[in-house]
Amino acid sequence: MAEGYCVKCKAKSQMKNPVVSKTSRGGYMCQGTCSKCGTKMSAMMSEDNAMKAIKEGAKKSF
Ligand SMILES: [Zn+2]
């Protein structure tokens, strides 16, 4: 599952309903909500991690 930093939990957290998108600069970004508190979160990802997240069930939006 995709992981990101939650500003509310102030810790790394698993992302719920992750959506992977591509940035204008060619990077990958994953957006979702914190599985612990529900706060929206996003994380920059390498291509490897983005593909892994999609394989593990993240939505692909590019
Ligand atoms: Zn949180």
| pLDDT at residue 1, rounded to an integer | 75
Please state the φ and ψ torsions of residue 50, each to the nearest 5 degrees.
-65, -45
pLDDT of residue 54: 96
Domain boundaries defined on the chain: 3-60
Q: How far is the CA of 57 from the centre of ligand 1 (A)?
A: 20
For residue 8, the CA-to-ligand 1 centroid distance in Å is 5
pLDDT tens-digit map of 9-56:
999 999 999 999 999 999 999 999 999 999 999 999 999 999 999 999
Cα of 1 from ligand 1 centre, angstroms: 15
Q: Is 56 helix (H, G, I), strand (E, B) or coil?
A: coil
